[in-house]
Chain A
Amino acid sequence: MKHDFEPKIVAFVCTWCTYAGADLAGTSRMQYPANVRVLKFPCTGRIDPVFILKAFQKGADGVLVSGCHPGDCHYMAGNFHARRRFAAFRKLLEFVGVDLARLEFSWVSAAEGGKWVEVVTDLTERIRTMGPLAEFKELETEEHWSGRLETAELKEAYNNI
């Protein structure tokens, strides 16, 4: 089925659980939308939030971060660090003005090929209805920000920091 808008989705996954889970989806010949591009990391702990910003900046409409279930990390605790890091990062991302629905964080184990399909399909459909991520691109094309708080919203946001 063709859609009006095909979003670009980037997935940052750990090699031990989610990457293997996605492999399992493949060997099981499951089907999911072709919008996702998978980048492999040793561990979700390696994923710097800057990568997510960079992906949005480079035109991703949605980003998925996925690793091992809590307690199952191949490196013992990397996913816990990642979870904590992204809890803080989400606030920042929201402040920057990116709808948090564009960022999905999930656990997919090496045995959960079906869950991988589900997560990717759900995210793709959600982003399809949300449309392209325009705000970030607009921001990028703007001149460097003057530093003055021109609008009421900016002032309010500043006061709330």
Chain B
Amino acid sequence: MSRIGVFICHCGENISRTVDVERVAQVTARLPGVAIALDYKYMCSDPGQNLLKKAVAEHKLDGVVVAACSPRMHEKTFRNAARAAGLNPFLCEMANIREHCSWVHEDREEATAKAIDIVKFTVSRVKKDRALAPITVPITKRALVIGGGIAGIQAALDIADAGHQVVLVEREPSIGGHMAQLSETFPTLDCSQCIMTPKMVDVANHPNIKLYTWSEIEEVSGYIGNFQVTVRRKARSVDEDKCTGCGVCMAKCPQKKIDNAFDRNLGTRPAIYVPFPQAVPNTPVIDRDNCTRFKTGKCGVCEKVCGPGAIDYGQQDQLIVEPVGAIVVASGFDLYNIGPKPADSPYEGYGEFGYGAIPDVIDGLTFERLASASGPTGGKILRPSDGKEPKQVVFIQCVGSRAREKGISYCSKICCMYTAKHTMLYKHKIHDGQAYVFFMDARTPGKNYDEFWRRAVEEEEAVYIRGMVSRLYQKGDKVVVMGSDVLVGVQVEIEADLVVLATAVQARTGADLLAQKLGISYDRYNFYSEAHAKLKPVECATAGIYLAGACQGPKDIPDTVSQASAAAAKVMTLFAKDQLEREPIVARVNERNCAGCLACKKVCPYGAVEEKEIRDRNGNLIKTVAYVNPGVCGGCGTCQATCPSKSVELDGYTDEQIMAMIEAL
């Protein structure tokens, strides 16, 4: 016979207001197997917990039910109390009579009856509970950082400085990300490259950082503390160990007319290239789609001119498996496509703004390249169509952002500030020019942000027009911008030389695919979801995976750096221990009954089920059965519901426990 203790909490008045707790105690005390049933004002308080501990000792309890709030709230508290009293923590269960009962029902009769039912079936369950021992798994103290923008760089440096190995994987030939493309940064107007490139060099020189550029994540398996990550190192066609970065190959490459994506296609680059002069690593990559050698088999100039003999046309993609204990995802963002709607895009696009059709309609990032000293114009703001200095520039904000009809309802957060910055950069370079900004609201929360915006308006004389633009069209060499000023209530028409669109920040194309490889969740815009919006802003719901930067949502540089350091701190917290303790809610196979059909293996989302051969002493195969690796098992129990012979059981949720609950209904 079991000896169960039932403890019913009043939760101040939160429960006792609608549930007659004394009655619940009286009724449950009479249940078979219940040794004692008590009610108390605050079970979670110190005296409440001591009451539980004392009762366990005095009544030699072999199971405990705490009828109180949700187990999501205090299960840990009471299981720890049970443990302190010498009881296995998994013999303590909670009956949720607050969130699921007293708070959602008004009728005292009904609520009390329901509370009794809840306690009743929880008592039945506890009787079938088994003592479980927590599983400890070793932690591989190496971290993977996905993405080499400012978020990934910051996280990698922080973790590496703490003394842990870091593998940094970047998709492009160089780290740097979007920040390397910017000219100056708000609100201080310091040059982006000047603050970024030293950090990039730190990454390259750090003894604890292994840098994989021109590489992508192929596959991720494992779990917190023990991930196995397969990295695809795309063929660079240049031997990184031999290359000295002299740049002769790039100078001699006959194919020089390829659009330079780093410069937003304003300039061109050769087929063997580094994206920008300060690239890290400073090792070129051959763009095989545009290289004459790869297209026709002729050429081969770079091979001839390369002194160290680093060119290797036969290089293949390499798959490298890296064992890591934690993953920081810092895969960044893309910009909203403002051209005509692509077939596979969920967003409408802005065909009416003529982007792509009118050469002098550009986006904000292109303007950054125009203003950048290392950009295609050497920092002179010249319009793309005829290379003239634009004397009137119109900036349009919220292109894509906050436009529900176009598919995005969120605010991209950075555009108000960077547009204000653009008007300043423009004014600093073209003193007689005039900037106009069409805006919905100026959103400038942040340290020194509003002051910065006011400076753009009051000192740098940008004309802010509240309203949206309805139409853009080419007229001669001008772009006519038609909009409305809703504050004054008039229609506005401006003949602009250049139009800059502040396009929305959106999730990376393919962000969902990466999330599926990692097993993390994402929202309807494909931004990655944090475990808790307020209290776990850098953790994913999947343990051991952390988020940094704009892959989680639009963010400016200070926020991104903060989040990256926070993610790094979380990784260091994990790595501070040698062993990781995890809940023993895992599946176990009854090898005697298992027929070896391995239906469980097919449905297991973790790949935790392996084949195990059972042999006699002479080594003859008796049968093959399933084996669940407890370190890999996530504890969903899908295998158990699938098993035709009921030979696999999920500890903590066995058929026996569940049937006992249903029987008690």
Contacts and interface: CB of A to CB of B under 8 A. Distances in A.
Interface of A: 8, 10, 15-16, 19-20, 22-23, 25-27, 29-32, 34, 37-43, 45-48, 51, 54-55, 58-60, 71-78, 81-82, 85, 117
Interface residues of B, number: 44
Given A34-B110, A37-B117, A26 B662 contact: no
Interface in B619-665: 634-638, 640-642, 650, 653, 655, 658-659, 661-663, 665
A48 B99 contact: no
Contacts of A76: 519, 605-606
B111 interface: yes
A46 B665 contact: no
B197 interface: no
A31 B603 contact: no
Contacts, number: 124
B105 interface: yes
Contacts of A27: 99, 103
Interface of B: 70-72, 96, 98-101, 103-107, 110-111, 113-114, 117-118, 121, 519, 521, 541, 585, 603, 605-606, 634-638, 640-642, 650, 653, 655, 658-659, 661-663, 665
Given A23-B100, A37-B121, A31 B106 contact: yes
Given A22-B99, A31-B104, A37-B118, A45 B603 contact: yes
Given A26-B99, A34-B107, A37-B114, 5 more contacts: A27-B103, A42-B585, A45-B603, A46-B636, A51-B662
A42 B650 CA distance: 10
A22 B636 contact: no
B110 A26 contact: no
Given A10-B662, A37-B121, A45 B637 contact: yes
Contacts of B665: 8, 10, 37, 55, 58-60
Contacts of B662: 10, 39, 51, 54-55, 58
A51 B636 contact: no
Nearest to B519: A76
B637 A42 contact: yes
Contacts of A48: 640-641, 655
Contacts of B605: 73, 75-78
A46 B106 contact: no
A113 to B, nearest CB: 10
A30 B99 CA distance: 10
Contacts of B603: 45, 77, 81
A54 B665 CA distance: 10
Given A45-B641, A46-B653, A48-B640, A74 B103 contact: no
A15 B53 CA distance: 27
A37 B541 CA distance: 27
The dominant DSSP class at the B interface is helix
Contacts of A10: 662, 665
A55 B113 CA distance: 19
Nearest to B93: A40
Given A48-B641, A58-B665, A31 B105 contact: yes
B31 to A, nearest CB: 16
A40 B662 CA distance: 12
B70 A46 contact: no
18 contacts: A20-B72, A27-B99, A29-B103, A30-B104, A31-B106, A34-B101, A39-B661, A41-B637, A42-B636, A45-B636, A45-B638, A47-B641, A75-B634, A76-B519, A76-B606, A77-B605, A78-B636, A85-B642
Given A58-B665, A75-B634, A26 B103 contact: yes
B104 A26 contact: yes
B99 A23 contact: yes
A22 B98 CA distance: 11
A62 B128 CA distance: 26
A46 B650 contact: yes
Contacts of B541: 16, 74
Nearest to A24: B99
Q: Lowest 9 CB-CB distances: which A-B pairs, in order?
A: A26-B99, A46-B637, A45-B638, A75-B636, A34-B110, A43-B636, A76-B605, A26-B103, A23-B99
A34 B105 contact: yes
A10 B661 CA distance: 11
A93 to B, nearest CB: 16
Nearest to B120: A37
A44 to B, nearest CB: 9
Interface centre among A19, A38, A75, A82 (most CB of B within 10 A): A75
A81 B104 contact: no
A86 to B, nearest CB: 11
